[in-house]
C-alpha cells in the first residue's frame, strides 16, 4: 500500500514538472470580452442617432458606462479600452432591449430611469455627475453651483474637470452646466457648437445666455415675490419683463432685499 502511494505521488510530481516545462501560452485577447459577456460581466455597445449625430453607447451589468462619438467601431473600441483598461464586446453582441429603449427615450427628452456604471470615477466625480442629473431640460447652472451643492464650494475648477471627463455625456447632461461667468464654455461631445445645439433644442436659448453673460447679468429678480433666480429657472421667459429685476451678483441681490429662489437655489441659504 505504501509503495503504491509513493508511486502515485512520484507520478504526480513528474506530471507537474512536465506541465511546468511546457511553453506558456496566453489566451487570445479577443477571447476575454466573450468570456466576460458569457458570465454577465462584460460591456457591450450599440450605435444610435442623437441631436449631435450618431453616437456609441456602452453598457455593462451595472449600467451605461460610456457615450462617445467615433468614426468607426474599431475607433470606439480602442477609446473604450484606453479609458477603462478593459476590452468591450463587438457590436454584434446586443444589450438588453429595455436598456436601448430607455436610452432612446432619454435622448428624446423623456424622464427615463437609467442606471450608470461610474465605478472608475472618484466619489467626488460621481457626486458632480449626480448633481448635474438634477438640472432640468431648458435650464443651466454654473460650475460654482454644483461645487456648492455637493459641499465643496471652493472646488469649482475640480468640478469643471469632472464634468469634462464625464463618460456618459448627453445622458448625464453636462451640457447644462456653464461657466461661472455665465458663458457657455466647452463641451466634451463635439465642442461649443454641439453644446449650443443641445441647449437650443431644450429651449435654453444659448444666444440669449451669451448676451446676458457679456452684459454682466447673472440673476433675475422677481419684484413681486422678492426672490432672485438663475435666468433659466423655470424657463428663460417664465418671468414677466415688467416684474423682472437684473442683478450682477448674489451680493447685489441680497443687499436689495431679495432672497434666493427655493427651486434653483442660486445662493446658499443662511
Split into its structural domains, the chain has a count of: 3
φ/ψ bin of 265: left (φ > 0), alpha (ψ from -120 to 50), beta (otherwise)? left
Indicate the pTM of the whole model.
0.82
- Does 93 lie in the same domain as 41? yes
Distance CA 193, CA 189 (A): 10
On average, the pLDDT of the chain sits at 87
* Local structure of residue 47 (DSSP, 8 states): E
Residue 241, pLDDT score: 75
For residue 116, being part of any structural domain is answered with no
- The residues assigned a catalytic role are 174
Q: What is the mean pLDDT of residues 130-156?
A: 97
Average confidence (pLDDT) over 6-22:
61
**Residues ≥6 apart with Cβ < 8 Å to 253:** 219, 221, 228, 247, 266, 267
Pairing mode, strands 259-260 and 227-229: parallel
- The string of pLDDT tens digits covering residues 204-226 is 999 999 999 999 999 999 999 99
- Per-residue model confidence (pLDDT) at position 238: 77
Q: 221 with 198, same domain?
A: no
What CATH number should be reported for the domain holding residue 48? 3.30.160
Tens digits of residue pLDDT in 71-91: 999 999 999 999 999 999 876
Query: Residue 175 carries which DSSP code?
Result: G
Which is more confident, 174 or 39?
174
Torsion sign (Cα): 24, 39, 60, 104: positive
pLDDT at 39: 44
Same domain flag for 180 and 245: no
pLDDT for res 269: 66
* pLDDT above 60: residue 40: no
Whether residue 10 is contained in a domain is answered as no
Q: Is the residue at 79 inside a domain?
A: yes
Distance CA 107, CA 163 (A): 19
Give the pLDDT of residue 112: 74
Assess if residue 266 is contained within a domain: no
Residues 139 and 198 in one domain: yes
| pLDDT per residue as tens digits for the range 146-197 | 999 999 999 999 999 999 999 999 999 999 999 999 999 999 999 999 999 9
More reliable by pLDDT, 10 or 102 = 102
Cell of 120: 472608475
Q: How confident is the model at residue 4 (pLDDT cuts 50, 70, 90)?
A: low
In terms of phi and psi (left: phi > 0; alpha: psi -120 to 50; beta: otherwise), the region of 63 is left
- CATH code where residue 196 lies: 1.10.10.10
Identify whether residues 141 and 169 lie together within a single domain.
yes
Least reliable range by pLDDT among 3-7, 23-27, 188-192, 248-252: 23-27
Same domain, 131 and 201: yes
**Cα separation, 249 vs 80, whole angstroms:** 42
Cα angle: 127, vertex 121, 119; to 5 degrees: 105
Q: What is the pLDDT at residue 27?
A: 41
Pick from 81, 107, 133: which residue ends a domain? 107
Q: What angle do CA 20, 24, 25 make, to 5 degrees?
A: 145
* Residue 249: domain span: 217-260
Q: Starting at the edge strand that comes first in sequence, how are the strands of the sheet with 53-60 ordered? A: 44-50, 53-60, 63-68
> Do 69 and 138 belong together in one domain?
no
Amino acid at each position: 500500500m505504501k509503495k503504491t502511494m509513493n508511486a502515485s505521488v512520484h507520478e504526480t510530481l513528474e506530471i507537474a514538472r512536465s506541465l511546468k516545462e511546457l511553453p506558456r501560452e496566453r489566451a487570445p485577447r479577443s477571447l476575454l470580452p466573450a468570456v466576460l459577456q458569457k458570465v454577465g460581466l462584460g460591456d457591450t455597445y450599440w450605435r444610435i442617432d442623437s441631436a449631435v449625430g450618431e453616437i456609441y453607447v456602452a453598457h455593462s451589468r451595472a449600467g451605461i458606462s460610456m457615450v462617445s462619438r467615433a468614426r468607426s467601431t474599431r475607433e470606439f473600441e480602442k477609446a473604450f479600452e484606453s479609458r477603462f483598461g478593459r476590452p468591450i464586446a463587438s457590436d454584434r453582441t446586443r444589450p438588453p432591449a429595455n436598456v436601448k429603449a430607455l436610452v432612446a427615450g432619454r435622448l428624446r427628452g423623456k424622464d427615463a430611469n437609467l442606471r450608470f456604471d461610474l465605478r472608475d470615477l472618484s466619489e467626488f466625480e460621481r457626486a458632480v455627475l449626480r448633481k448635474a442629473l438634477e438640472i432640468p431640460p431648458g435650464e443651466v447652472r454654473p460650475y460654482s453651483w454644483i461645487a456648492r451643492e455637493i459641499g465643496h464650494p471652493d472646488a469649482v475648477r475640480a468640478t469643471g474637470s469632472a464634468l469634462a471627463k464625464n463618460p456618459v455625456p448627453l445622458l448625464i447632461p453636462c451640457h447644462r452646466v456653464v461657466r461661472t461667468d455665465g458663458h457657455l464654455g466647452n463641451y466634451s461631445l463635439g465642442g461649443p457648437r454641439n453644446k449650443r445645439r443641445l441647449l437650443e433644442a431644450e429651449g435654453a436659448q444659448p444666444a440669449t445666455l451669451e448676451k446676458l453673460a457679456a452684459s454682466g447679468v447673472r440673476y433675475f429678480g422677481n419684484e413681486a415675490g422678492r426672490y432672485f433666480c438663475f435666468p433659466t429657472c423655470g424657463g428663460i421667459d417664465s418671468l414677466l419683463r415688467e416684474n423682472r429685476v437684473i442683478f450682477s451678483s448674489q451680493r447685489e441681490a441680497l443687499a436689495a432685499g431679495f432672497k434666493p429662489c427655493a427651486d434653483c437655489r442660486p445662493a446658499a441659504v443662511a
